[in-house]
Amino acid sequence: MQVGITGGIGSGKSTVCKIFEVLDIPVYYADDRAKWLMNNDTNLIEGIKSVFGNEAYHPDGTLNRPFIANIVFNDKSKLAELNALVHPAVFQDGVSWNEANASAPYTLKEAAILFESGSYLTVDKVITVFAPKEIRIKRVLMRDDTTREAIEARMDKQMPEEEKIERSDFVIYNDDEHSLIEQVLDIHRKILELK
Ligand code: ATP
């Protein structure tokens, strides 16, 4: 069984996944893995160069992230072209990773855009991590070298949290009022019972 875990920027997905990892549940970090593949998967690199040109990569072969981000942030069709290259590569990579972790009771797939990318269709259950907007902004400002405006611009591009919650099987409230550990343990037990 594979369980997807999602939530908006700064909601606490990675933090929640660390708790699942303590329970020996393997976690596939789709966003981190996508970044790795864009730097290392030769087919994907060729595809990206054919859409964005050689400038998409630095002379040392690493992805020119600001160059690509600047284009796709303002051009929906270029974003769709990039996604059409990256999403299947991450999907295939996830399939191999799942096979390698087949002995686990279940696995988790962490992705900020689980619904938007269509990967929710490939998982059996979905968990959304929710935190109120102001808490998320405060936490991301502490974590990253960024601005409130940049965080809000990212939030505006993401699916509304209410919609994610509606489409999920489980919700984890990461709002300074609920215990994260207790919620994770409860969901962990429920998933094991489902098996
Ligand atoms: P992103 O989508 O931006 O990668 P995320 O959903 O994975 O974010 P995290 O990185 O887990 O979110 O959390 C955002 C920041 O908030 C981190 O610095 C994390 O340590 C902190 N944080 C998360 N949950 C809590 C909490 N319950 N109490 C205090 N800090 C928290």
- Assess whether the C-beta atom of 26 lies below 6 angstroms from ligand 1: no
Domain count along the chain: 2
> Among residues 100, 131, 156, which one ends one of the domains?
100
Instruction: Tell me the residue range of the domain where 72 lies.
Output: 32-100
Q: What is the rounded distance in angstroms from the CA atom of residue 154 to the CA atom of residue 131?
A: 15
User: In this structure, which amino acid lies at residue 166?
Assistant: E
- Assess whether the C-beta atom of 112 lies below 6 angstroms from ligand 1: yes
Hey, whose CA ends up nearest to atom 20 of ligand 1? Answer: 15
Three-state DSSP class for residue 24:
coil
pLDDT values of the chain reduced to their tens digit, one per residue, 195 residues = 999 999 999 999 999 999 999 999 999 999 999 999 999 999 999 999 999 999 999 999 999 999 999 999 889 999 999 999 999 999 999 999 999 999 999 999 999 999 988 889 999 999 999 999 999 999 999 999 999 999 999 999 899 999 999 999 999 999 989 999 999 999 999 999 997
β-strands 2-6, 27-29: how paired? unpaired
Q: Ligand 1 center to residue 136 CA distance, Å?
A: 8
- Assess whether the C-beta atom of 13 lies below 6 angstroms from ligand 1: yes
- Assess whether the C-beta atom of 111 lies below 6 angstroms from ligand 1: no
Q: What are the C-alpha distances in Å from 152 to residues 31, 138, 156, 158?
A: 19, 11, 6, 10
> Among residues 76, 100, 124, which one ends one of the domains?
100
Angle at 136 between CA 133 and CA 140, to 5 degrees: 140
